[in-house]
Chain A
Amino acid sequence: MAILAPEKGWFHKKVAKDEKMWIMCATVVALALFAIMVLWHLVGKQNPSYTVYNTSPDEFYKMAQANWKKYQIGEEAGIPVVKPAPDSDVYVIGTTWRWEPVLILKKGAKYRFHVSSLDLLHGFSLQPMNMNFLIHPGYDYVLTFKPTYTGDFRLICNEYCGPGHHSMIGKIVVED
């Protein structure tokens, strides 16, 4: 009785058979869900990275510039187009309200993406893959991607960053 004190001996009442079975079932499922997260690190191919460096917006900007200079092959919509060597480091900057640079990648190669923001938080949202990460200023987030499909991809921002937030869109092309 929810608004009265429980009856005498409530603490020693036996748990009904069906309630006990349900609790067992729920416990097993909860443990299984826990196990999947750990196992996925061993056998799964999609795990959020844990490599991160402290940086500052100035320092990160300089590092990115140096990297882009090495691999730049053109310009599109005022944004440098960069084609990094397969299995190398890639720098991506999110800033209000643009993603830089445009990237050309090779399918099946591994790239160490260094992603950081120069100002506010930004949401790194790769479409149409729908993979989402959060980017902070002052932290160099290293995500090692291996593109498994070719095609035209977009990088959109899905963390609110002011009135121009909706126009923040970048481009990644994956070639064979």
Chain B
Amino acid sequence: MLVLLTRWQVIHLLPVDWFYRILTLHGLVALVVWIVFWEMAGLLFGSTIVLNARMVAPSVAWASFVMMVVGTALVAYTVLTGTADVLFTSYAPLKADPLYYLGIILFAVGALIVIGLFFANIIVAKKEKTYGDGPLPLFTFGLLTASILGVGTLLPGAVIYVPTFLWSLGLIDSVDSIIYRLIFWGFGHSAQQVNVAAMISIWYLGAFLTVGGTSINEKVSRIAFLFYMIGINLASAHHLLVDPVPSPSWKVLNTSYFMYLAVLASMIHAFAVPSAVETAQRRRGYTKGLFDWLKNCPWGNPAFVAVFLSIVIFGFIGGVTGVINGAEQANMIIHNTIAVPGHFKGTVVGGTTLTFMGATYYLIPLIFRKKISLYGVAKAVPWMFALGVVTLSAGLSTLGYLGVPRRHWDVTFGGGPFTYSFPAITDMFWVVAVVGGAIAFLAVLAWVIVVVVSVFFGTPVRGKEDMQLTLSDIPPADDNHSGFVAPGTFALTIIFMIAFLIFTTLNWGWLSVMWEVK
């Protein structure tokens, strides 16, 4: 919020040094601290409670938790005292205090240990046959994908932060800026792929808990997770599309995510999750027309609403912009403009964060054994947050397409040798962005209040009658029918594809009227 109010020139709240400091902290807290802590908890949950298994080494889990907290504290300390004004990406040769890099290394190693523990837990569970003879449940399988991606993420993190740490201490002369960017994004973007895999695991979980939906074909869903494992980390290469050195063939090969294997996987999940909901609903008898099943979904259950809205936002905003931004030439249009934050408001915020917020509602009664306080507020939060994030993202993305840079304290270029004014219409989109940001901010605040009040001051859950979020029963078995199993989902995905193709065509059209360059 502080960042937005500064960027909006009408208010221009923070002074320049504090703006970049808060922006650094904002990136770290939103992309790393909140998400990774939540995921680590999810991994431990998915490998023990879901599998009905035991935690192999609780003391190790606590040790890694302490490391992550200390790491976070070091980073927050250096950033707030002004010795690490390097923003989230900390591109060398921009230099921060050694403690900053040390904090990140500690955090990453802590996370790596939790992942190791996750592997250990599922191996022991498999041996002790705690979840039967068959393969892992789909939810845990998805988390396994996330964990393997996590290892592939944290290793490049270590590879780049260790030399950068030594360089900051003065033990190494220099760190090459292109190598830094290449390896940093092996960490920075892959971390987001971990989020995607974890988020989609929770979508499957949410479909099951709220309406009893099961993937219509588990083989397809699992193969899609496998595609992530093969293809998705290569996607990180799209950060270097307008850098010197990498060749066009390297760029095309990598950013096509090896022929869009990961994009394809996401599109498969985009069908698999809604169709799981649709088939479950149809088996309950909501078979009229294309969308009767959707109309009769549990719209009063905030966890369901969160999953549903996050699928829509992640697909229509995050997915569409992501694939286009990742095309070699089209990247020229938005690189480092404020459309980039616009894109990840659609992925990490509208997708992952919203999913995690909704899932937290299940954790309150199931783990903390407390009723959700202020239930009415809790129910409104996903709608409000989604509305805010969509508005914010639309505002930022449009500004980016009009050329407004990201990470910029003053877009009127005060103190510069020349002046430049962005098109007048940008004034309006700043208002859109600020309004959206404010709504999303209030929603987060409300959510935090709900969670804190419930966990610390809530009334205990004594039994089934105290559960506000019902756990769905399993719908009646399928009566055999041929043809389409999920026509409504099919229609929705086709609408998505049309929107996607329109936006793609627009982008290439805009590109074709620019100055020529090669």
Contacts and interface: CB of A to CB of B under 8 A. Distances in A.
Interface in A105-162: 119-121, 123, 125-134, 136-141, 143-149, 154, 156-162
Interface string A60-94: 00000000000000001111000000000000000
Contact of B485 (A19, A29, A144): A19
Given A49-B518, A148-B515, A156-B413, A141 B268 contact: no
Contacts of B461: none
Interface string B405-431: 111111101111111101100000000
Given A144-B517, A166-B414, A134 B408 contact: no
Task: Give the size category of A's interface with B.
Answer: 35 or more
A104 interface: no
B297 to A, nearest CB: 17
DSSP class of A's interface residues: helix, strand, loop or mixed? mixed
Contacts, number: 304
8 contacts: A4-B137, A25-B497, A34-B260, A45-B516, A120-B94, A146-B517, A160-B87, A163-B17
A50 B247 contact: yes
A47 B518 contact: yes
A166 B401 CA distance: 19
Given A2-B204, A30-B260, A49 B94 contact: no
A161 B408 CA distance: 10
Nearest to B17: A163
Interface of B: 16-17, 20, 50, 85, 87, 91, 93-94, 131-140, 176-178, 181, 201, 204-205, 207-208, 214-220, 240-248, 251-252, 255-256, 259-260, 263-264, 267-268, 271-272, 275, 323, 327-329, 331-337, 401-403, 405-411, 413-420, 422-423, 474, 483-487, 489-490, 493-494, 497, 500-501, 504, 508, 511-512, 514-518
A146 B517 CA distance: 6
Given A38-B252, A130-B514, 16 more contacts: A2-B207, A10-B218, A16-B217, A19-B216, A29-B497, A30-B259, A33-B263, A48-B248, A48-B328, A120-B93, A129-B515, A132-B336, A146-B517, A159-B336, A160-B407, A166-B415
Given A16-B216, A29-B501, A168-B416, A130 B337 contact: yes
Nearest to A78: B417
B245 A52 contact: yes
Determine which residue in B216, B414, B416 has the highest number of CB atoms from chain A within 10 A of its CB, and name it: B416
B350 to A, nearest CB: 21
A50 to B, nearest CB: 5
Interface of A: 1-6, 8, 10-11, 13, 15-19, 21-23, 25-27, 29-31, 33-34, 36-38, 40-41, 44-50, 52, 76-79, 98, 119-121, 123, 125-134, 136-141, 143-149, 154, 156-171
A162 B85 CA distance: 8
B329 A77 contact: no
B417 A98 contact: yes
Contacts of B327: 33, 36-37
A167 B416 contact: yes
A145 B16 contact: no
User: Top 3 closest A-B pairs, CB basis?
Assistant: A30-B260, A5-B134, A158-B405
Nearest to B133: A5
Contacts of B16: 163, 166
Contacts of B268: 22-23, 26
Determine which residue in B244, B247, B401, B490 has the highest number of CB atoms from chain A within 10 A of its CB, and name it: B244
Contact of B335 (A134, A154, A166): A134
A22 B247 contact: no
A145 to B, nearest CB: 5
A78 B364 CA distance: 63
Contacts of A29: 497, 500-501
B504 A33 contact: yes
A141 B517 CA distance: 13
Contact of A19 (B177, B217, B332): B217
A167 B415 contact: yes
A141 B240 CA distance: 13
